[in-house]
Structure 1
């Protein structure tokens, strides 16, 4: 007979293996493929709105692989799941000629010592599609962004974080002005005590980002119904986010 201590060690190892094995296995995600109606998203989220009905072509332009069919409910659920959100994006069925690509794993405009991966990605997609838009709204970290490329050219890009303006290219659009987002020049009196001079940027909110999205394309928080009419059922895709999208610090010169 085996000594009691040996039996105890074997049982301990077996128990540990049973607990750790699922964590060591490759992550597999099972998606519901039954067509369903659109699910709202947008808060604490980044997304692309691309004017196309061709999800396959869009996925290829983004460099996405390992695509699996997913309906709205499971796709939106995955990109909001704390264990899955960093690794996947959801490609929606087309709505009124627009296709969304949503996920917190999308590259965000960076400041400081980080490599900018958002602008190059948008420029690449814009070479394939005539209207490409980017949005991000993360109130919890006070980060908001929007950008638009038309016919391969950047028209407007803006991003704001706790540190201030991270991205400001092109002139503010009519949508931004309608929402009260503008640069206010503070002129003051020279050498007057307390005079700050320069310009003051009104800091945006999630409502501003969604408002711009609504004016440029579609507000994803309002897609579950339109004019009281429920939208058609459909299925989209879930895809693993490329490793190249992850934040990366700028390497200092030797």
Structure 2
């Protein structure tokens, strides 16, 4: 047999070797891929995603907030006269401790939170003026304050510049105006008069002070909306507005 006769045989051998090598590579790749898929954690069920999205954005109740009966974010922003305003999503607005954060409308209400809101314990007259002034422009405005550590608390409803109900306590009664609303009565709020003694028996009752603080989100739910019940799916817009307040009070 000469060399010419061996060429076809050699070509067949080379072809077979190439096919065998290719098949081995494919089998190895398939085996590796199968191990990766097996080791990968299962994808979360759609119900889990829904549950995550449904977690309230206000995981903890803010210390102070406004509830304004409006869907007009720009009108609220102009009334509060924010400095350096910028768009801000709900989660960011709550997490970054903004001076003022105007949340997107939800169920016909706009909530405003932040350390820039007046504190009744600092100056009750300033809080009164602030609420009356913005209510003259915005109509129906509600204010809530619940400091769990100090026990300071307060709530108010103001309509077109007229106080319908106002109460605030910070070591003593600072504000008690108007008749108790039905939700206050039904929830069992204890409201003290201006000159009630801190040494009196009611002040020793945990329900009198701590109880009031704990019930404020329930009152908010009855008057307007409980901030701890809000999640991003209930918002009418994706973004709110954050900024710094001027000296309104």
Equivalent of 1:218 in 212, 225, 232: 225
User: Aligned equivalents of 2:240 and 2:59: distance in 1?
Assistant: 15
- SS of 1:127's partner is helix
User: What are the ranges of 5 or more consecutive residues in structure 2 without an aligned counterpart?
Assistant: 1-52, 194-198
Aligned position for 1:176: 184
Q: Which has the higher helix share?
A: 2
Alignment of 1:101-116 (within 5 A): 101-110=112-121, 114=123, 116=125
Structure 1 CA distance for aligned equivalents of residues 189 and 124 of structure 2: 27
Q: CA deviation at 1:207?
A: 2.3
The answer as to whether partners of 1:127 and 1:152 remain within 8 angstroms in 2 is yes
Select 1:240's aligned residue among 222, 232, 244: 244
**Conserved? CA contact 1:134–1:147, under 8 Å:** yes
**What is the distance in 1 between the residues matched to 2:133 and 2:248?**
14
Relative to structure 1, the CA distance from residue 164 to residue 71 in structure 2 (aligned partners, 3 Å threshold; closer, same or farther) is: same
Point out the structure with the larger strand share: 1
94, 104, 119: which one aligns with 2:128: 119
**Structure 1 residue 72: deviation in Å?**
0.8
What TM-score comes out, normalization by structure 2 length?
0.66
Give 1:124-139 correspondences, 5 Å limit: 124-139=133-148
Change (3 A) 1:41 1:66: farther
**Cα offsets for 1:5-38 (capped at 9, x unmatched):** xxxxxxxxxxxxxxxxxxxxxxxxxxxxxxx987
Over aligned residues, Cα RMSD in angstroms?
2.9
Partner of 2:85: 67
Structure 1, unpaired ranges of 5+:
1-35, 80-84, 186-195, 246-254
Question: Which string of whole-angstrom CA distances, capped at 9 and with x for unpartnered residues, describes residues 225-247 of structure 1?
Answer: 8xxxx4256110111132555xx
| Compared CA separation, residues 184 and 237, structure 1 to 2 (3 A) | closer
Q: What does 1:182-201 correspond to in 2, within 5 Å?
A: 182=190
What is the distance in 1 between the residues matched to 2:59 and 2:159? 24
Specify the alignment match of 1:4 in structure 2. Answer: none
Cα offset for 1:104? 2.3
The CA deviation string for residues 59-87 of structure 1, in whole angstroms up to 9 with x for no partner, is 221222211000011101112xxxxx5xx
Q: How many residues align?
A: 186
- Alignment CA distance shift 1:148-1:115 (3 Å): closer
Contact map agreement 2:173 2:192 (CA 8 A) in 1: no
Show CA shifts across 1:111-137 (max 9, x none). 6xx472111111111111221000111
